[in-house]
Amino acid sequence: MTTAHEYAQTNADRFRELYKELVRIPSISTLPEHAGDVQRAAEWLAEQMTLAGFQSAEVIKMPEGRHPLVLGEWNGAGPDAPTVLIYCHYDVQPAVVEDGWLTPPFEPVEKDGRIYARGTTDSKLHVSAQLRACESLLQTGGAPVNLKLILEGEEESGSENINAFVEQHGDRLRADVCIISDGTILDETQPSLVYALRGIATMELHVEGPSQDLHSGHFGGSVHNPLQALAEIIAKLHDENGTVTVPGFYDDVLPEDPDERAELVQANMWTEREWNNVARAPQPWGERDYNIHERVGLRPTLEINGLTGGFTGPGFKTVLPQKAMAKISCRLVAKQNPTRIYELIRDYIAQITPPTVKATLIPLEPGAEAAVLGRHTRAMAAAADAYEKGWGKRPIFERAGGSIPITYTFQKVADEVVIIGFGYKTGQAHGPNENAHVHSLHRGIDTAIHFLQAIGGQG
């Protein structure tokens, strides 16, 4: 009998063309004019699930103005077998040639071993790899585990409804193990396993001064410029070492584990290499007691993401602006609560705001708590073995600096959660000329098969 891995190899060309077919659908969830494309992608995926061998495939409608989920199920392994829930998202970020694309962003172009198009890495690579891994098993005698494949159509626009779906219909997604297939690994020669993600809190700081914009010649020197006041407030949010000065900000941060820090040194080599190649700032900045990988994964941060105010057009306008605004985000670590962090920052800003202006801090998107998955679970061991077989090298454990908010949600319905990514950090996700290596798709399919077999006792 043909094995799942042999089936995947025999069908490699077909799988690659189906991947390109999905990429051609501009499923941009953030733009209302592409709602029909998101729906079309959902229906295409449901049809592909059925053809792959899933016993059911459903496009789950969401409230008006939101985008559908797609849920495929296969229970042929029996009631005593483990159930694995697989999550990916099929929506993508906007893209137009004018952003700097060298080729049309929704027409995949294969060149020098890579496929260039929006969504190739984030995240139709993962959708395709996981779906085709399931097909390879289901078409060669069945999987050793029961399968639930949930595909989201609005990860890039807030994930509001999948969180509500889990709260209301968590029983439909109940599983022993959940795979979140998203993100990247360290390098094409070095796979990695993320076992911790930072949470996030976002907010806007509005500083107001006079009742209207004023002539800087008539009023300059007598009115506290809101832009200057905003800069003064922001400057007090960190000390010279890069430590956040907000009282209580670090109160809930867990003490570092010396063994964990020693293990993270392996990941830091790759993080420093990426920093030097991508950030290329004059020199690193931040808490001196922590290496770069720890600064972006182990420690919480407070970042200024945008500043506006006054006149910024061509030429010059000698004006004292009526108001100024800053966008602020915090990346959080385990035990830090997003609402509590917002309140601490709000109260501190109230203390340091000069009486000459008025400052208001407004919370934005719902925050997400950090997720720590652990390094020694059954799922992590299976994932490590699967990467070693699929990529040919044992993965390194790493903490991710970013956030996948759905991780915390899925911890409510699955006993174990593992994050499995197949893209590379060079894939330029969200940017022009996004791309994925062709081998990432095929290695990803192979790795996903190995993981499901290991969880089902066939590893």
Residue 174 sits at the vertex; the CA angle it makes with 173 and 177, to the nearest 5 degrees, is 105
Q: Which amino acid is at 313?
A: G
One-letter amino acid at 19 equals: Y
Strands, DSSP E only, in 171-310? Answer: 175-180, 184-185, 192-197, 199-208, 214-215, 301-309
Strands 184-185 and 423-424: parallel
- Nearest to residue 184, comparing CAs of 455, 432, 430? 430
CA 407 to chain centre: 10
Residue 299 gets which letter from DSSP? Answer: S
Which uninterrupted H or E stretch holds 110?
strand 109-111
Distance CA 276, CA 285 (A): 13
Q: Are the C-beta atoms of 423 and 436 separated by less than 8 Å?
A: yes
Element counts in the chain: helices (H) and strands (E)? 13, 20
pLDDT tens for the chain, residues 1 to 459: 899 999 999 999 999 999 999 999 999 999 999 999 999 999 999 999 999 999 999 999 988 889 999 999 999 999 999 999 999 999 999 999 999 999 999 999 999 999 999 999 999 999 999 999 999 999 999 999 999 999 999 999 988 889 899 999 999 999 999 999 999 999 999 999 999 999 999 999 999 999 999 999 999 999 999 999 999 999 999 999 999 999 999 999 999 999 999 999 999 999 999 899 888 999 999 999 999 999 999 999 999 999 999 999 999 999 999 999 999 999 999 999 999 999 999 999 999 999 999 999 999 987 889 999 989 999 999 999 999 999 999 999 999 998 887 898 899 999 999 999 999 988 999 999 999 999 999 999 999 999 999 999 996
Strands 56-60 and 69-74 turn out to be antiparallel
**Torsion sign over Cα 46, 16, 442, 433:** negative
CB atoms within 10 A of CB 174: 15
Q: What is the pLDDT of residue 403?
A: 82
CA distance 272 to 457: 38
Its sign, for the CA torsion 225, 226, 227, 232, is: positive
The one-letter amino acid at 446:
D
Please tell me the pTM assigned to this model: 0.88
pLDDT for res 368: 87
Q: pLDDT value at position 285? A: 97
Q: What would the DSSP string read from start to end of 404-417? A: -THHHHHTTTEEEE
Residue position matching structure tokens 């006079």: 210
Confidence at residue 146, expressed as pLDDT on a 0 to 100 scale: 98
Burial degree of 235 (CB within 10 A; 0-12, 13-18, 19+):
exposed
The confidence score (pLDDT) of residue 76 equals 98
If DSSP codes are grouped into helix, strand and coil, which group holds residue 55? coil
- Taken in order of first residue, the domains within the chain and their CATH numbers are 4-197+370-455 (3.40.630.10), 199-253+300-363 (3.30.70.360)
- Tokens representing residue 363 in the block: 């919370």
Contacts of 453 (CB under 8 A, 6+ apart): 4, 137, 144, 459
> What's the CA gap between 109 and 259, in Å, rounded?
45
Secondary structure letter of residue 220 according to DSSP: B
DSSP single-letter state for residue 257: P
Question: Cβ(320)–Cβ(228) under 8 Å?
Answer: no
Surface-to-core class of residue 94, CB atoms within 10 Å of its CB (0-12 exposed, 13-18 middle, 19+ buried): middle
CB 115 within 8 A of CB 105: no
- Specify the pLDDT at position 408: 84
Nearest-Å Rg of the Cα atoms of the chain is 24
